[in-house]
Amino acid sequence: MAKTEIRVGGLGGQGVILSAHIIGKAASIYDDKEATLIQSFGPEARGSACSAQVTISTETIGYPYVKHPDVLVVMSPDAYAQFIPTLKPGGWLLYEEDLITLDERVPEGVKSFCIPATRFAEELGRRLVLNIVMVGFFAGVTGLVSYEAITNAVKSSVPKGTEDLNLRALARGYEYGCELARKSAS
């Protein structure tokens, strides 16, 4: 793998930055790759547009900004509308199934994968962990970070005492992602 550019988008309060941080941490600290993270958010704590750019590479990364991501992860309709035109043709789109409806703006050749991440998080007991479900889904679908690495990254990033639920959220998303990836490959 030379370099993979990822954009994660959603609303403030969905844990967009944390999920991007965990993906980058998994790659750089636990999978021994290179990673960069650029984050941007609105001035409000909740409800404003929010996104992060992550680059993962086996080589040194010279330029951290992502203009046309290989992988787009979106958790809100606004983020989808804003970023879908930037996704590379043939890239991967991962999105929140219950919140986003795809339309003709999806670039040609894009492989799309969806997950009811919010619903899964609610079933697990806390809507708050939707971003971790999404992180697991990302790892399961793309295989860009190992499960061991993403598990370690989640464990070391979430508050003490919340690890169990967060790891269950991760596993839920990961298994769902692996299943979809298997179906897509066959």
Partner 1 sequence: MVKLEGFPVEVTLRDGRSVLLRPMTAADGGRLLEFFRALPEEDRQFLKEDVTRKEVVDRFVRELDYERVFPLLAEHGGRIVGDATLHRTKYGWSTHVAAIRMVVAREFQRSGLGTALARHLVRHAVNVGVDKMVAEVVDNQIGARRAFAKLGFYEEAVLKGHVRDRQGIRRDLVIMANDVSHLWEAMEALVADYSPTVGA
Q: Give the binding site for partner 1 (CB under 8 A).
A: 10-18, 39, 41, 43-46, 48, 50, 123-126, 128-129, 131, 157-162, 164-166, 168
Q: Which is nearer to partner 1, 160 or 183 (CB)?
A: 160
Q: How far apart are CB 53 and partner 1 at their closest, in Å? A: 14
The residue among 47 and 89 lying less far from partner 1, judged by its C-beta, is: 47
**Whole-angstrom distance between the N-terminal and C-terminal Cα of the chain?**
22
Nearer to partner 1 by Cβ, of 43 and 62: the residue is: 43
- The CB-of-11 to partner 1 minimum distance in angstroms stands at 8
Answer yes or no: are the C-beta atoms of 2 and 58 closer than 8 Å. Answer: yes
* DSSP-derived 3-state class of residue 170: helix
* Residues 184/146, Cβ–Cβ less than 8 Å: no
Least distance from partner 1 to the Cβ atom of residue 41, Å? 5
Q: How far is the CB of 3 from partner 1 (least distance, A)?
A: 25
Q: Which is nearer to partner 1, 33 or 72 (CB)?
A: 72
**DSSP SS3 for 105:** coil
Closer by beta carbon to partner 1, 59 or else 123: 123
Q: State which residue, 108 or 164, has the beta carbon closest to partner 1.
A: 164
Q: Cα separation of 12 and 73, whole Å?
A: 15
Q: How far apart are CA 168 and CA 163, in angstroms?
A: 8
State in angstroms the smallest separation of the CB of 147 from partner 1.
16
Is-contact 91 72, C-beta < 8 A? yes
In angstroms, give the least distance from the CB of 111 to partner 1.
27
Output 68-72 pairs: Cβ under 8 A, ≥24 positions apart: 68/5, 69/5, 69/6, 69/7, 70/4, 70/5, 70/6, 71/4, 71/5, 71/6, 71/7, 71/138, 71/142, 71/144, 72/6, 72/7, 72/9
